[in-house]
Structure 1
Amino acid sequence: MFGSEKPADEQVAKGAPASPVVDDAEASSGLPPIDQKPFMEAIWPVLACGAGLFSDGYINNVIGSVNTVFTYQYGDLYSDSQPAKVVSAIAFAGTVVGQLIFGYTSDRWSRTGSLLVSTVILIVFTALAAGSYYHGDPIGMFNILTAWRFFVGIGIGGEYPAGSVSCAESTGELKGGSRNRWFILFTNSMIDWGFVIGAFVPYVVAAAASNKYYGTIWRTSLGIGVVFPLILFVLRLKLKEPEEFSRNSMKNVRTPYRLVLKFYGFRLLIVSLIWFVYDFSTYAFGIYSGPILANIYSSSDGSLAPLTTVFGWNTVINLFYIPGTMLGAPISDRLGPRYTLILGFVTQSIVGFIMAGTYVHLSKPSVIGAFVVVYGIFLSLGELGPGNNIGLLAAKTCATGVRGQYYGIAAAVGKIGAFVGVYVFPYIQKAGGTSSDAAYYQYPFFVSSSLCIFAAALAFFFLPNVGQDTITLEDERFREYLTAHGWDVRQLGLKVGESIDTLPRETEDVSKQ
């Protein structure tokens, strides 16, 4: 229940790493409060740090259109090839690697430096993917594209811990009461807009190419993915380290991982499980786009629909994400990320159960419009709840000194969930029969909707509330815990060449003042 947990200082005094409610209050760590800047001055670092996730949405979605073009251009030569089976999923593997590597470097080296490196990787390998070629051999070209996609995934992975964590810390310089929404608008909303543009650009290119010149269509669609990270790279050259990171980093000291694991291990497990369930389920939810598009594309003579038709409807389906993420952003400030996430999970699971139960009626071509509307509501609820808030919770439920690694691990587990979902759900579908049987589509939704209830329960019982000043208060709480276990908190924020012996005595054990 709201406000029912014990105060944080009482829990820390007992050595308990349990999750307290984090209410808005002034920090009492002895450090001066972070100055709030004018809105325009404060908002651009939030944008520059978080908006790189647009590339995640664009690059991950545009590859679906590229696969479609390859199917039109090469037919069974591509469909039966090994790259066709892995080119979409290989970026997940790269993303997991990038999330873990840059989660570490963003804590142990630099937030902004990690961002710049990941952006360069994204630019270089996206350009190489667009130019994939192997002596005129299509199979060789498919393999080269698959290899470049892995490295693109590493660049995308860096955007999660380095970008989102910096974005969360930079929101501390914004006015209280709006910090959650701005984090969401420049992280998850950017991913969703990336999905939309990643579907729309191939439509425009295909229209300009008169649904022919397939090589031009897929190379141009991939190549345009270089533009946005290139713009961001220029903006990021001017970035400074977030103030929270400068004050509380552990980059120049030995991180007490035993204490960190004892304090944050259980919470990290819960956040990771929720992210796993969300990404795992998202791929099951996506199976409904297949029957929708199949009904729209069906042709009496069996011919393929024009690419513009395919890409146009794909854009419409991806637009369903936008109302949920945009309307849900201010709700996260009102209800808090924890309860907004629970609300989204529960309502989405209810709609999922309804859609699965009525699939036989909703999937008929005569009511495809109603199916699309219900499906759109379903996708929007997913973005309003877990889509918007799981990253926010991961970024704000951990202290600054280890936030990058904490976030990177949680995000990596989420991506593993997506990867597992790709391979598990075909077996769940087969348990329902063949693609002509309703249960073939119903079973995955029954499983995923049940998992949504499970994830909502995890959040309700084991995650803290996240307020406007959570980052500052979480750092204070962690300082108190470290001090109680004999770790000198004067080491936090220590600069290169500094020693705690040279610091003024009044900074010692500031958490007790």
Structure 2
Amino acid sequence: MARKGKEVLNALDAAKTQMYHFTAIVIAGMGFFTDAYDLFSISLVTKLLGRIYYHVDGSKKPGTLPPNVAAAVNGVAFCGTLAGQLFFGWLGDKLGRKKVYGITLMVMVLCSLGSGLSFGHSSNGAMATLCFFRFWLGFGIGGDYPLSATIMSEYANKKTRGAFIAAVFAMQGFGILAGGIVSLIVSSAFDHAFDAPTYEVDPVGSTVPQADYVWRIVLMFGAIPALLTYYWRMKMPETARYTALVARNTKQAAADMSKVLQVDLIAEEDPQSNPSSSKTNSFGLFSKEFARRHGLHLVGTTTTWLLLDIAYYSSNLFQKDIYSAIGWIPAAETMNAIHEVYTVSRAQTLIALCGTVPGYWFTVALIDYLGRFFIQLMGFIFMTVFMFALAIPYDHWRHRDNRIGFLIMYSLTMFFANFGPNATTFVVPAEIFPARLRSTCHGISAASGKAGAIVGAFGFLYAAQSTDPKKTDAGYPPGIGVRNSLLMLGGVNFLGIVFTLLVPESKGKSLEELSREHEEQIGGGGGGDGTEIMDVANSGRTVPV
């Protein structure tokens, strides 16, 4: 690496925390706010969709989504997200982070609106249209994962990098909370405005025609924060690390960094910043050299994210089923359709407020002190303990007097998911891989996580059904029950403990040291001997800013 390139990267690592760091957190974080809102808001309205589109005339029971439709509505966005993470992760390394960043946001805006405007001549037609738009919504969301993480890691200094990346991801908690609040407001407004009767009074009238507006408004609201963020994303410059290490334009990197981070570097053309000056940094993702250096790291980031999302998304998407099983949410027959949305939203908002959101920000506050490895290992351990504590004495928790205890334990499970692997699995892949493969590897790791979310969304839907066919919802085969499902999720979390051992600690190290790009440059003959470059990577010397 030439001297000018080293100065740029060292200045990034040593830069004091400035206003633009917080601006970047908000710009990238609003994407994650929207991601979480869009992904989790569907769980608040799925029961309403069943009542509106699948009620059988003359039936004494509220309508429910058929199992295949429920699985599709809940899980299709994750399929799109997985595809988007792989595609946009790869594209972010090929074209640059900035060029791709705005595309993902516009896809999210258009498909959020499209989801709320879903149409069809029949119930299945309307749900098919909804699934179409939610797949492409997920595709846009998928691109946000590797790009936001990579951009934030490449802007940040090494002292507070973990907190900055975690803060971007923590906006997901506010997105989940916002979904519950918006749903509460909309359902409450419609419930009082149209004064729908209870189900016992009028089975058909309990679902007023205006209920169809509720789910549409809730889903379409996700377009607003994404649209507000678009302008600022377009004004962000390309990250200096991409420009210097991948595009090999240290002059532009220095100029861009000087504008946004108030760093004075002379933007001179460096004759040695030439792609041909280093041949050892040309190995690709599927090469033996990558497997030797980063193969186990990629196995660690993919498996831990996979296992975490099986448990995390199962718990989040089907909170309403767990609450119903323990009797916290009244039976559907006792509520009108809109009030049922209100009740489910209130329960999910309470859990988000007490467990989910605080967990994210504990990670932000402590990740650069405790380290990524410790927080991830601790999170998986506590998730395992609390899942088993809920599952083994499950009959005890179902008793009316013990429901508060169940909710406390469940909130703690969510807390340690977020003050644990849900945050660290996002942070670490953005730090430990080379710049030219960073977005791709983060996309692969995240896609593995979404494969876990798909398992959670489709698998838990069936597994959590009652073991008694007579007590199983219409159309669902008998499952293993909520208790055994919680036991399985506890086992999944235990495997997360094991595979965390493959994930390296990245606290306090530069991205180039973690990815071993400083070693690559030694063999490239770029502007100095190997000793000098190693000293730069490991010394405590800083560049004044």
TM-score range, shorter chain: 0.7 to 0.9
Among 490, 497, 502, the alignment partner of 1:456 is 497
Q: Aligned letter for 2:75?
A: A
1:317-351: per-residue Cα shift (whole Å, max 9, x none)?
Answer: 23220121112322212110111110111112111
Between 1:446-455 and 1:78-87, the stretch displaced more is 78-87
CA contact (8 A) 1:55 1:228 kept: yes
Pair 1:214 & 2:211 matched: yes
- RMSD (Å) for aligned C-alpha atoms: 3.1
Q: Distance in 1 between matches of 2:101 and 2:71?
A: 31
Q: Aligned letter for 2:430?
A: A
Q: Distance in 2 between matches of 1:509 and 1:131?
A: 62
Percentage of identical aligned residues:
21
Pair 1:223 & 2:229 matched: no
Between 1:295-304 and 1:462-471, the stretch displaced more is 295-304
Q: Distance in 2 between matches of 1:284 and 1:86?
A: 15
Shift of 1:141: 2.0
Q: Aligned letter for 1:74?
A: Y
Match of 2:457 in 1: 422
Match of 2:136 in 1: 151
Pair 1:470 & 2:501 matched: no
Pair 1:192 & 2:173 matched: yes
Q: 1:366 to 1:228 in 2, by over 3 A?
A: same
Between 1:389-398 and 1:177-186, the stretch displaced more is 177-186
Query: Unpaired segments of 5 or more residues in structure 2?
Result: 57-63, 193-207, 250-274, 276-280, 473-477, 536-545
Aligned positions of 1:382-397 closer than 5 A? 382-397=417-432
Match of 1:10 in 2: none
Pair 1:180 & 2:155 matched: no
Pair 1:399 & 2:434 matched: yes
1:292-337: per-residue Cα shift (whole Å, max 9, x none)?
Answer: 2451332596454713223222221232201211123222121101
Could you tell me the TM-score, scaled by structure 2's length? Answer: 0.77
Among 52, 57, 64, the alignment partner of 2:43 is 64
Query: Unpaired segments of 5 or more residues in structure 1?
Result: 1-26, 491-504
Pair 1:268 & 2:298 matched: yes
Match of 1:49 in 2: 28
Pair 1:308 & 2:381 matched: no
Q: Distance in 2 between matches of 1:394 and 1:132?
A: 36
Shift of 1:196: 1.2
Match of 1:357 in 2: 392
Between 1:434-443 and 1:369-378, the stretch displaced more is 434-443
Q: Distance in 1 between matches of 2:110 and 2:465?
A: 40
Q: Distance in 1 between matches of 2:68 and 2:394?
A: 33
Shift of 1:142: 1.7
SS at match of 2:487: helix
Q: Aligned letter for 1:108?
A: K
Pair 1:139 & 2:124 matched: yes
SS at match of 1:79: coil
Q: 1:317 to 1:489 in 2, by over 3 A?
A: farther
CA contact (8 A) 2:45 2:215 kept: yes
Q: Aligned letter for 2:213?
A: T
SS at match of 1:132: coil
Between 1:386-395 and 1:296-305, the stretch displaced more is 296-305
Match of 1:494 in 2: none
Q: Aligned letter for 2:424?
A: N
Match of 1:240 in 2: 237
1:471-503: per-residue Cα shift (whole Å, max 9, x none)?
Answer: 14225x23414755xxx486xxxxxxxxxxxxx
Q: Aligned letter for 2:42?
A: I
Among 308, 322, 340, the alignment partner of 2:357 is 322
Q: 1:363 to 1:512 in 2, by over 3 A?
A: closer
Among 262, 274, 278, the alignment partner of 2:308 is 278
SS at match of 1:240: coil
1:69-123: per-residue Cα shift (whole Å, max 9, x none)?
Answer: 2123223476238543302211111111110111111111010111111111111
Shift of 1:138: 3.5
Shift of 1:158: 0.5
Q: Distance in 2 between matches of 1:177 and 1:191?
A: 23
Q: Distance in 2 between matches of 1:184 and 1:386?
A: 11
Q: Distance in 1 between matches of 2:139 and 2:330?
A: 38
CA contact (8 A) 1:103 1:408 kept: yes
Q: Distance in 2 between matches of 1:470 and 1:68?
A: 48
Q: 1:297 to 1:421 in 2, by over 3 A?
A: closer
Match of 1:121 in 2: 107
Aligned positions of 1:370-385 closer than 5 A? 370-385=405-420
Q: Distance in 1 between matches of 2:40 and 2:525?
A: 45
Q: Aligned letter for 1:480?
A: E
Match of 1:95 in 2: 81
Aligned positions of 1:8-27 closer than 5 A? none
Q: 1:300 to 1:181 in 2, by over 3 A?
A: closer
SS at match of 2:396: helix
CA contact (8 A) 1:46 1:171 kept: no
Shift of 1:171: 1.7
Q: Distance in 2 between matches of 1:264 and 1:54?
A: 31
Q: Distance in 1 between matches of 2:21 and 2:333?
A: 58
Q: 1:510 to 1:407 in 2, by over 3 A?
A: farther
Q: 1:470 to 1:368 in 2, by over 3 A?
A: same
CA contact (8 A) 1:349 1:453 kept: yes
1:167-208: per-residue Cα shift (whole Å, max 9, x none)?
Answer: 121222xxx543322221221x11121111112211111112
Between 1:99-108 and 1:206-215, the stretch displaced more is 206-215
CA contact (8 A) 1:50 1:183 kept: no
Q: 1:255 to 1:115 in 2, by over 3 A?
A: farther
Q: Report the number of matched residues.
A: 463
Q: Distance in 2 between matches of 1:69 and 1:86?
A: 15
Q: Aligned letter for 1:236?
A: R
Q: 1:335 to 1:509 in 2, by over 3 A?
A: closer
SS at match of 1:129: helix
